[in-house]
Amino acid sequence: MTGYKVENIDSEDANELLLKIERSFGIKFGHNELIHVRTFGEFSDHIIKKIQLDNANDCTTQQAFYKLRNAISTTLNIGKRTITTDFPLSEILPRQNRRKKIGELENYLDVQLNILRAPRWVTITLLVLLLVSIGGLFFKWQYGFLGFVTSIGGLWFANEIGNELDVQTVGQLAEKITRENYLKSRRNPKTFNKSEIEKVLTNLFINDLALDRNKLTRGSEFV
């Protein structure tokens, strides 16, 4: 396990992940600050040292759930007692006015939820078109270029109007809010739980970079 290498990661995906970590933990990376960080464990330790807040041993995901439950109860007029971690989001956010209700939750929580996507078949079809178009540039560049522009535009448009839920339960959404908005999820955003950070970072790496959860350990090397 310790020999597992985190490699072949697109630089754009890696940069987006670092920006997400900055926003979640209220930190800022300096130029070449991470150049000497070689393993996931070193990265986690670096983040913990970088967060200049008081340590408090309370569960952030639990607090995120309570905040989310309160937001759902207040904005969508649903009894708190009925909202559990395994409560389906599809019942809270019906398709016909899903975007409006998500907007209300985002305003109440002061976070971007980013839980909507296009149907899988649409995304896959456009990605196949993109790959074919790139190949077509070497044979009939006019058609290849047209397909390339169409697929890129289609992916952007599908993402903008997508109405499929990317998480399925209230508990999953609370976990997503925790890893992407860690400090805002806490009852006291001027504190953090030192023992949680590595787990939160693990979940960010797994979800954003599609890594193998069973292989990502403190000894995993960045290459």
SS3 content of the chain, % helix, strand, coil (to 5): 60, 5, 35
Distance, CA of 116 to CA of 105 (rounded, Å): 14
Whether residue 134 contacts residue 183, with contact meaning beta carbons closer than 8 Å, is answered with no
Determine the Cα–Cα distance for residues 169 and 21; give it in Å rounded to an integer. Answer: 23
Q: Tokens in use for 23?
A: 């926003």
pLDDT tier at 2 (50, 70, 90 boundaries)? very low
Query: What pTM was computed for the model?
Result: 0.84
Bridge partners (DSSP) of residue 164 are 117
For 4-54, the pLDDT digits (tens) are 677 777 788 889 999 999 999 999 999 889 999 999 999 999 999 999 999
Segment 136-195, tens digit of pLDDT: 888 888 888 998 899 899 888 877 788 999 999 999 999 999 999 999 999 999 999 999
Q: How far apart are CA 214 and CA 204, in angstroms?
A: 14
Q: How many CB atoms lie within 10 A of CB 53?
A: 16
Q: How far apart are alpha carbons 64 and 105 in whole angstroms?
A: 13
| Alpha-carbon gap, residue 92 to 137, rounded angstroms | 46
Distance CA 180, CA 21 (A): 7
Cα dihedral value 23, 194, 50, 203, nearest 10: -40
Element (H, E) at 199: helix 197-209
Helices 197-209 and 11-25: crossing angle in degrees, nearest 10, is 150
Confidence of residue 3 (pLDDT cuts 50, 70, 90): low
Tens of pLDDT, residues 59-80: 999 999 999 999 999 999 999 9
Cα separations in angstroms, 197 against 45, 165, 200, 218: 9, 27, 5, 13
**Cβ 148 vs Cβ 133: under 8 Å:** yes
